[in-house]
Chain A
């Protein structure tokens, strides 16, 4: 019997920061102490998250399940698989770094710490939730702390920026909610096979990997427990009415293996189409994709450094993660139908973001626009194909596996580089009190280490081979090439623009004439402090490691994506994903495992 124990670590990860925030709120501690406590807690969370590396995610997601509000139809279903693991690690690692980077915050420090902890809970919750309601709750939980973090500690124009952030992202998440509810309203668990239900975690975390007769046995055992969800299932089956579900894994099964979402709705389109459009619109705002990106530069420019790091490093990943986790698996046919739109938006984002970055003199705004450009690759990679459905689409699924793997890799890579870059900008801003590229220059001499690390990160963001950005940009382009040659051509051409604005920024900020000795700038350009090195060096190191050896990470991501994409098919070892290593000369020698497309 294949039983997998539930992972009690998952709820701990999500709730620890929130409990810490509550404790901090009540405890009468000074600013310095609360900062240290928060850092300690964040490091603890990071250490706990690191132990997840030891969890074998190959047989499918590892779950933790509790009845939360069965009367509302929702459960506390948390899970970790190859898709969420890298992003959880990224979040857990970036949070303490962001707190370290917030040394300049000296007003209302305790409130700041509380909000950062709440933010961490929300972010980890999004990546770990496999129930739509819980996912949405965590998604929205991020909004309030972020609003205050920008609005209270931001720059001169912080009010407008915070409001813009809040309004844009709330509208986005509400659209997403509507999309999810449309899927929910058309779903029915009862026709799914026992194997499918088991894989969706309906029978509990133990039964995830069971199939066939074993799954049926699990189902019997589950029905015999008489838990609220089991009773509901039993009654729905007996009375023959539909049993709706918010379980994302189950909804994905329904989306790919049944035609429950194919009910006509408005305008000649079916429910799946509308759900996809709403989900896509909501998540594109969060991503952000042109033309819904305007909140991002404003928010970044006003946010304090540490908050900017999390905003770029983690928050921008939520949209992409939601697309991979929810939009494509739930509505594969609609995704395939609208792939041209997604690819087009992706290419436009890449080009537009690069052009906009080229025109900036504000260092931080430049990095912000480069984020818009880089997130375009995520869309492009996803548009490469779609999840296979009962009516076929194996070819699409193979493309999608490659593209989505690339997209997730790009998210992680961008999380590392953009967090580092925003910190590098923060370092400059702290020393000079401005971020005007025209008035900077020659930083490499007074600050050799800081400039060197920053340049490594810039190169990684530019996509220089051997650094992490290269892999993340190459995979989506390769995957999408056949389906959307025009979009890929545009995106590939835009890499020239990327090089232009990145090199321009490096030249203006770090090279150029040294400041004359009597210039106050020369005095201000002090070398990095120890804490600053502590923040910047790991990020630069991660950029190099991920670039040189992307394979361990890809091997984590790819099986999870492939399992999603080929949910309906037997494991196939001759799929397109087997080509992965040949595209990547750096990794050819560790091929034996890379051709695996589904759970072992």
Chain B
């Protein structure tokens, strides 16, 4: 049997042996579709999920009653409307914030940052609401946890520096949209966990596995090509930190 079936594909001489191993791996479409669907549902893309269920002929996961609410909550957090978000979360399940003080604090801090941003954006801005909010909502919580306190203090320094073109990187982070995005996805995760499903989309751990495995393999001095590009133009430079125009890159649409 072996004699008749061994057919080693003729590789181009320049191809790294690892690349050949990569090519030999068969990926099942249904696995990929599963990961995609899992992502669309748990990260809250209901219309895409619906369409994908139709087009790929797979089932929408059943547990998805909360998807619409999650989308709304995410939208509210992204827009900085934390009051609405907190109300919606509590409507869904008051336990979520009660049992996760760190998450609750993170939300309130986003709210504080939004207040600071508002009052510093105009010369006539009144900082009283900021101070009131900080002392009534955040300070009592910060007293219980040194981490919270540090975070609160940092946020309050924004009052001094805003508006400004040049902020310390630490402060810059606070007014970037990515903070709201991060908090929103933590909230989403907490909601999903509270419903008994796995909180995080599998895709995220998959991406980390890919990066971790490459780092580990390089650390163990396995034979790898100098870079392992994915071929995703936008993220390519990011994922392979030292990518510099490797010719092996695959084409992307």
Q: Are chains A and B native binding partners rather than an unrelated pairing?
A: no
